[in-house]
Amino acid sequence: MNIKELPFEHVTVKALDIFNGYEISFVIENQTFHFLIGKSEELLPLNIKHYFKNQEHCNICQKMIFPTPFGQQPCLPLQKDMKDLLSHLRKTYVVLT
């Protein structure tokens, strides 16, 4: 999968209170994903989950995903490319310190 070719929209970042890190939310083809990033000496990609409002097939992994909170399943193709995804988001959309 080429991360740079994905049509990212509505990229937002929020610092998390429950641990030292960030949650990056973004939309790809009208489907929302949440990307958890740990912050220590360097940023560490932790997990990327579907965050769908309705039951539907994921356009990336093709799995049937149930609505949140039940449907917060990892998206395996994005999981495999988490480091590239983090790098692309940092260069293109968000500044994380």
Residues of the chain with pLDDT under 70: 70-71, 97
Distance of CA 82 to the CA centre of its chain: 8
- Closest by alpha carbon to 34, among 86, 89, 72? 72
pLDDT of residue 97: 63
pTM over 0.95: no
Q: Is the peptide bond before 69 cis (omega within 30 degrees of 0)?
A: yes
Report the pLDDT value the prediction gives residue 46, as an integer from 0 to 100.
94
Average pLDDT, the chain: 91
Position 60 scores a pLDDT of 95
